[in-house]
Amino acid sequence: MTAIATLGAVVLDCREPLRTAEFYSALLDVPITRTEDDWVQLAPIGGVDLAFQLAPDHVPPIWPGHEHPQQFHLDVDVPDLDVAEEQVLAIGAIRHAVQPGTTFRVFLDPAGHPFCLCACPPGDQQG
């Protein structure tokens, strides 16, 4: 079977696209390539763009919970969870109160989207 489409971008809604893009730019060491009032985009990561779209009424998900459930979250691989935690906190992440595992840690980006730092042995990271 031939693919109908290819994945072009992952887009996160947020109230402050530039601030959220700057966070992910620092987290992933990927430059911002497009900036508009309602859209900010990073350079492709593995062939896929990560973009941030203005949503003035965006309500951050509440995890765990069902009132405002997360629709998805990003997992990012890191070689050292402790070092990466210090680094993401320094660029604006918030450590989530709920930490259900030992091989990953849950954080919130500046817009309130959950993301996980996942332990990945050196050499196994994509990039």
What pLDDT is attached to residue 123? 57
Percent of the chain at pLDDT exceeding 90: 67
3-class secondary structure, 67: coil
Distance between CA atoms of 111 and 108, rounded to whole angstroms? Answer: 8
Provide the residue type at 72 as one letter: F
Q: Where are the domains of the chain?
A: 9-119
Fold of 9-119: 2,3-Dihydroxybiphenyl 1,2-Dioxygenase; domain 1 (3.10.180)
What pLDDT is attached to residue 124? 55
pTM of the complete model beyond 0.75: yes
Q: What is the pLDDT of residues 33-90, one digit of tens each?
A: 999 999 999 999 998 999 999 999 998 888 887 887 777 788 898 999 999 999 999 9
What pLDDT is attached to residue 121? 63
Report strand pairing: 9-14 vs 49-54.
parallel
